[in-house]
């Protein structure tokens, strides 16, 4: 679903490709603020929305915090995360269904981990319990998990994981969710439990490597039309306005 990021998401991806993570953090911050101010032409910031379009703004702010961490700008990462926690808390308290409120809690935990703040483990534990409490027999967790809010909350973890796994899909739908959709509370609570175990270490791994991959878009393997000048791979990732190497997320050249 397209949101009004005013071109700043494409700028974020381009800066990540150049490994200018400070610039990527700035662009992603602007993308987040743009979406939060005016998510879609037909949808305002505080409008009730059973799909959670506003989550895209939080995704961009969370990505900004991650970019700043990788860039070594810990103070900026902490400030962006602190702002994200406040925004997620406000949105969860004022315009969300109970299940959406739990997803905003999930964002809060992610922001704590991304910004190097205390309390991430406890926040994930509380989020899992919030999912168990919020979901009932009327909840279709597979449909809920495919809404923009829940997809936005999943995206940064996937981006971190592919950074450390040679650009591949390292977190699948099945990894994030429980194995029994007939138990919707446990099905959704698995998201928080998985992230409690993995998200902080993924952040630490990317910070240690000093690299953050671009998000994964449309891909093609072993092409005869592109070759990465940085690593030689012929695997391509088309994302936003950029054509990148699937492996190292650097710009790749047509042959």
Q: Quick one: CA dihedral 31, 58, 140, 215, positive or negative? A: positive
Asked if 221 and 133 sit in the same domain, the reply is no
Strands (E), the chain: 218-220, 226-227, 236-239, 242-245, 253-254
Tell me the pLDDT band of 43, cut-offs 50, 70 and 90. Answer: confident
Distances (CA, A) of 252 to 14, 116, 243: 12, 33, 6
Q: What is the structure's pLDDT at 41? A: 87
Chain mean pLDDT for the chain:
96
Say if residue 122 is in the same domain as residue 237.
no
Q: Specify the pLDDT at position 103.
A: 97
41 & 86 share domain: yes
- pLDDT (0 to 100) of residue 142: 96
pLDDT score for 49: 78
If asked whether residues 231 and 164 sit together in one domain, one would say: no
- pLDDT one-digit tens code per residue, 173-227: 999 999 999 999 999 999 999 999 999 999 999 999 999 999 999 999 999 999 9
- Same-domain check for residues 172 and 247: no
pLDDT, residue 46, reads: 85
Cα(81)–Cα(20) distance, integer angstroms: 20
The answer on pLDDT for 50 being more than 80 is no
Q: How confident is the model at residue 255 (pLDDT cuts 50, 70, 90)?
A: confident
Q: pLDDT digits over 13-40, tens only?
A: 999 999 999 999 999 999 999 999 999 9
Tell me if 3 is assigned to some domain.
no
- Residue-wise pLDDT tens digits, 227-240: 999 999 999 999 99
| Structural domains counted in the chain | 2
pTM value surpassing 0.85: yes
For residues 148 and 126, give the distance between their C-alpha atoms in angstroms, rounded to a whole number.
Answer: 22
- Domain ranges, residue 208: 8-213
CB 38 within 8 A of CB 45: yes
Q: How confident is the model at residue 1 (pLDDT cuts 50, 70, 90)?
A: low
Give the pLDDT score at 235. Answer: 98
Same domain, 110 and 143: yes
Rounded Cα distance between 244 and 249, Å, is: 5
């Amino acid at each position: 679903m397209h949101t009004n990021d005013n071109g700043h998401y494409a700028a974020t991806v381009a800066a990540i490709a150049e490994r200018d993570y400070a610039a990527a953090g700035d662009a992603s911050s602007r993308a987040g603020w743009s979406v939060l101010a005016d998510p879609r032409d037909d949808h305002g910031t505080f409008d009730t929305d059973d799909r959670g379009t506003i989550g895209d703004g939080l995704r961009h702010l969370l990505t900004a915090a991650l970019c700043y961490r990788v860039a070594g700008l810990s103070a900026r990462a902490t400030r962006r995360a602190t702002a994200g926690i406040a925004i997620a808390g406000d949105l969860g308290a004022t315009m969300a269904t109970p299940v959406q409120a739990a997803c905003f809690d999930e964002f809060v935990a992610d922001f704590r981990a991304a910004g190097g703040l205390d309390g991430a483990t406890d926040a994930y534990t509380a989020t899992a319990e919030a999912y168990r409490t919020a979901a009932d027999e009327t909840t279709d967790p597979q449909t809920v998990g495919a809404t923009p809010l829940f997809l936005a909350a999943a995206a940064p973890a996937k981006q971190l994981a592919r950074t450390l796994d040679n650009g591949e899909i390292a977190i699948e739908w099945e990894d994030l969710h429980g194995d029994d959709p007939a138990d919707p509370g446990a099905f959704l609570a698995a998201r928080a439990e998985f992230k409690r175990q993995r998200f902080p270490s993924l952040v630490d791994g990317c910070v240690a490597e000093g690299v953050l991959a671009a998000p994964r878009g449309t891909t093609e393997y072993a092409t005869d039309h592109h070759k990465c000048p940085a690593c030689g791979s012929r695997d391509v990732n088309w994302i936003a306005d950029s054509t990148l190497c699937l492996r190292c997320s650097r710009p790749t050249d047509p042959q």
